[in-house]
Chain A
Amino acid sequence: MRLSSKLTMLMAGLAVSACTNGNRFDNDAVDLNQATGQAGGVVPGSASDPASPAYFQQTVGDRVLFAVDQSALGPEARATLDGQVQWLRTNSDYNAVIEGHADEQGTRAYNLALGGRRANSVMEYLVSQGIPASRLRFVSYGKERPIEICSDESCYAKNRRAVTIISAGPTS
């Protein structure tokens, strides 16, 4: 337990420090997830194009959910992430930003940290499956960006999530 968490930290540290040029994400990130339809037709960029971020989002599955206050990945989440790993391996010219989120039942700063934990556990999993840490980065939105806005568990469950956002990275 202790050892594993230390390893986790170590890896996370490596992952973060591997990100030598953090700016590239900020400046070049394009919301490619919205690309659906822009290209028109069925071909490149659309959800039916397996190499498109839209396909990643809709078919592979871009998000995993968490239990209250938890950042551990369940079997379902791992299955989704395995799909993400496949896609990222195939489409090695893309980078990913993992966004961590929390539901509204918590204080602001804690939820930021909790969202960070969730995003980090996704990132660690991807790295453990061979995706270079240099292609990944994470950010937490805490409770600031819910996708569902009701104040019930049905909404909360969907808000406790980590979403992998594909971005075109300059191939390094």
Chain B
Amino acid sequence: MKQFVATCLTTLLLAVMGPLMALAQNGPLRIEITEGVVEPLPYAVPDFVAESAGAQELAQQIARVVADDLTGTGLFREVPREAHISRITSFGSPVQFADWKAINAQALVSGAVSSEGGRVVVKFRVWDVFAGTELGEGMQFAGSPDGWRRMAHKVADQVYSRITGESGYFDSRVVFVSESGPKDQRAKRLAVMDYDGANVQYLTSGDALVLAPRFSNDGERVLYTSYETGLPRVHVLEVGTVQSRILPGQDGVMSFAPRFAPDGQTVVYSITQGANTDIWAMDIASGGTRQLTSAPSIETAPSYSPDGSQIVFESDRSGTQQLYVMPASGGEARRISSGQGRYSTPVWSPRGDMIAFTKQNAGRFHIGVMRTDGSEERLLTASFLDEGPTWSPNGRVIMFARETQGAQGASSLYSVDISGRNLKRVRTPDGASDPSWGPLQ
């Protein structure tokens, strides 16, 4: 806090001194601005122009999905169509910037859709209204009519990255556990969906209890824990063929909490032997294993750094669950969590600079983030039970599972911006838990 006050003082002094110094010198007037506003950027997405007969509905739907994606980030606010002064009736006509400025749309997305012979073409442009210029260049996507949502997500990803300078995350999928039935007889099956909850498909039958699926970095395989053999064992599933196999292991020994290394060749996971749970690594092709931890405590929930050189995991070696970082080859681990309470399920961010975790403190659960050295801890959520964060492919958003309290309690997925804003539920057909966000496609 002291540091904080100091920062404040410095900042304010700067703010004060800046103008003062400006007074004293020649040349341009110098002004320093240190405070801005945090608010969504207003933008407009008029319905896309239908360039072929019958493309009308698609053109509207695509524009709506683009708007839902952008508005859903919390970083943008759509100026409602009723407020629009200009209509865009032709993709090629000049944009009347004044009309969009007048309604304070800072960005404008114009687009057109044509549909012919089972092929849909979506074109779009992004405009910086106040500068009166185009952001980037016009682009188009083509595909089958079934793929219209993906095309819309791709358009939104482009708009997002042109405005924010960072890659998007809309054209991505999430693998998760779909839950149904009461708490004491809950059926669980693996499922995959678009990031926004659309297009849910089931990957397992629900006969066997399954837990905690994890996407590989390329999104082609999923690791998960299944009770198919009667006790928890790590399985790997090819998303394309929906074929799965159990990873080799000792009979009668529990293995769980798997996660891929960034290269997709190695898997880290936990094995329980007697009272002791340790972290192991397996070469997925050869089945060769190697023990990475050996403390007589519970070591689990390992997650690689994006460069594959380190692993963050949880351990109760100190008496309560805390977060530790060790080299990917095992060896000396250093504790990084230091606050009150218990820390678990650490996940390294794709940007590499942060670790998301679950924290239990004073009877509440939180999703939080910290620097990889444990500093700058920030809690983003609070509820009866939040757990299992997963990062969007651009490292901007965290999805997690929230279970409600009581006999009727159910689990559902939520997402939150890493700034702690824009907490919202991800709609799924049934209950849902254990999300794992796949790559941008």
- Report A-B touching, CB under 8 Å: yes
Known contacts: A22-B251, A151-B409. The answer to whether A109 contacts B274 by CB under 8 A is no
Question: Which residue of A5, A19, A116 contacts B277 across the interface (Cβ within 8 Å)?
Answer: A116
For B299, the closest partner residue in chain A by CB is A113
For residue B207, CB closer than 8 A to chain A, the reply is: no
Of the candidate stretches B16-24, B88-96, B225-233, the one touching chain A is B225-233
B434: A residues at CB distance < 8 A: 108
A151 touches B384 (CB 8 A): yes
**Number of B residues whose C-beta is below 8 Å from A?**
47
For this complex, into which size category does the number of interface residues on chain A fall? 35 or more
**What is the CB-to-nearest-CB distance from A108 to chain B, in angstroms, rounded to a whole number?**
6
For residue B171, CB closer than 8 A to chain A, the reply is: no
Known contacts: A23-B251, A120-B274, A150-B407. The answer to whether A108 contacts B360 by CB under 8 A is no
B252 touches A22 (CB 8 A): yes
A112: B residues at CB distance < 8 A: 211, 232, 254, 256-257, 272, 300
Question: Which residue of A71, A107, A139 contacts B231 across the interface (Cβ within 8 Å)?
Answer: A139
For residue A13, CB closer than 8 A to chain B, the reply is: yes
For A116, the closest partner residue in chain B by CB is B272
B274 touches A8 (CB 8 A): yes
B387 touches A108 (CB 8 A): yes
Bound-complex Cα distance A162 to B59 (A):
58
Q: Using a Cβ cutoff of 8 Å, how many contacts connect chains A and B?
A: 130
A148: B residues at CB distance < 8 A: 184
A109 touches B254 (CB 8 A): no
Bound-complex Cα distance A127 to B192 (A):
44
A12 touches B387 (CB 8 A): no
Question: Which residue of A25, A107, A113 contacts B358 across the interface (Cβ within 8 Å)?
Answer: A107
Bound-complex Cα distance A6 to B276 (A):
10
Known contacts: A144-B209, A151-B384. The answer to whether A107 contacts B345 by CB under 8 A is yes
Bound-complex Cα distance A144 to B208 (A):
12
CB interface residues, A 125-172, toward B, < 8 Å: 137, 139-141, 144-151
Bound-complex Cα distance A33 to B95 (A):
75
A16 touches B360 (CB 8 A): no
10 contacts between A and B (CB under 8 A): A6-B296, A12-B276, A13-B273, A15-B274, A110-B344, A112-B256, A113-B272, A144-B188, A149-B406, A150-B406
The 6 closest A-B pairs by CB, nearest first: A12-B274, A22-B251, A22-B252, A113-B277, A109-B257, A149-B183
